Structure 1
Amino acid sequence: MTSVDAVKKTRVRLSPERRGEILSAAASTVVTLGYEATTIEAIAAAAGASKATLYRHWNDKATLVVTAFTEQSGIRLDAIDTGAMVGDLRQLMQMLANHAPANIALLLTLSDAAHRDPRLAAAVTDVFSPHLAELTTILVRAEERGEITAARAARIMPLMVGALFAPAMTGADSAVVTEEYLLRYLDDVILPFLSSNG
């Protein structure tokens, strides 16, 4: 039995508040130091927790950091169901805007590091898969209502990625990714594409 396994045998439940504090510390530490330079020790210090506490609840740094994003992002796709595709996409854009600067900074850091770290890449896949499935559910509902074709639905994710990351990739401050900006992008780019015949 490894020392990490031994620690997990004595797992103590974290309160939602304490869990949130640790995940927030993990996210901010990665954005500040970069993924590679971030250690479990650094996250523990930032959270005022012990390494043992972190290992009781997360397998490794990769799982902890990716979980930090998914739980701290403010994006709850399973809560979106307005009964219409346009309403669903508007609600999604509003969610994306609420924490855009922090989310974009962390996602850029993780996506860069995942190319070099197989463990992080695997954690991203494992933790993000349920969230991608929730987005697929939204699009499937739109297909079933006849609002969109499967081919068009497949293009929504790249368009949203463009909306979120184009400012950062062109040197703009991610603070420009506001609700107004994202809703305008939805009206001017995404919806016209989805309704076009080409």
Structure 2
Amino acid sequence: MPDEPPASRVRRPRMTPERELELLTTTIDVLREVGYEALTMDAVATRARCSKATLYRQWPGKPQLVAAALYATRPVDASAIDTGTLRGDLLAFVTTLAAQAEQDTALIAGLGHATLTEPALALALRESLIEPEHEHVLSFVRRAVERGELAGTPAAMAFLPQLLFAALFTRRLFEDAYADADYLVGFIDGAVLPALRNS
């Protein structure tokens, strides 16, 4: 009879994609309720009905778990957008985000504050969420250049992700309103497209 492998070498079944999404969605639910500072791996594990060890097998810590949760539950997948025009791509991106602006503005503001005191969170958000999504958004402009919509790569392209992010999450501060679809369409037509076409 062959020797049985030591317990440390026994392979555990991999988590299914459905279960992983359930854990990440639960993380967002807890994050919305208590904020980043008060969120703990224990609280997520309790809500998700799993062990804390299960979470740590998938994510090294709270910053990585939160970043993964934000990426997995993002309202729009920019990589899937290709309408055939630069304006169409930009509108498809921002109008989908507008539907969640009211509930996401406070969440993003809280995370922004947390990154000031927790570099690990800032790094996790950049690596897992911001940089991949920024690259997809910049691809809207690259395709426009390839189609001949733009004469060349515009200087404003380097600031496009920041422009969109600011429009989405700062309207509440300036106008006491959330960034709805009408506001964002006006922003794209009045500010973003002119900047890209004239730079």
C-alpha change, 1:103 and 1:13, in structure 2 (3 Å) is farther
Amino acid at match of 2:49: G
Q: Which of 153, 163, 168 is residue 164 of structure 1 equivalent to? A: 168
Contact 1:77 1:131 in 2 (8 A): yes
- 1:153, distance to aligned residue in structure 2 (A): 1.6
C-alpha change, 1:10 and 1:42, in structure 2 (3 Å) is farther
- Map 1:1-198 onto structure 2 (within 5 A): 11-128=12-129, 129-148=131-150, 149-170=153-174, 172=176, 176-195=178-197, 197=198
Amino acid at match of 1:151: A
Unaligned runs of 5+ in 2: 1-6
Amino acid at match of 1:56: R
TM-score, normalization by structure 1: 0.82
Please give the per-residue CA displacement for 1:135-185, whole angstroms capped at 9, x wherever unaligned: 222221123334344202223223212211122334735xx3222332232
Contact 1:75 1:96 in 2 (8 A): yes
C-alpha change, 1:138 and 1:109, in structure 2 (3 Å) is same
Unaligned runs of 5+ in 1: 1-5
Cα RMSD (Å): 2.6
Amino acid at match of 2:67: V
Contact 2:76 2:97 in 1 (8 A): yes
C-alpha change, 1:182 and 1:147, in structure 2 (3 Å) is same
C-alpha change, 1:181 and 1:13, in structure 2 (3 Å) is farther
Contact 1:12 1:56 in 2 (8 A): no
Q: How many residues align?
A: 190
TM-score, normalization by structure 2: 0.82
In structure 2, how many angstroms separate the alpha carbons of the residues matched to 1:57 and 1:146?
44
In structure 2, how many angstroms separate the alpha carbons of the residues matched to 1:178 and 1:16?
32
Contact 2:137 2:161 in 1 (8 A): no
Higher gyration radius (CA): 2
Give structure 1 regions of 4+ aligned residues with deviation exceeding 4 angstroms: none
Among the aligned pairs, what percent are the same residue? Answer: 36
Amino acid at match of 1:137: S
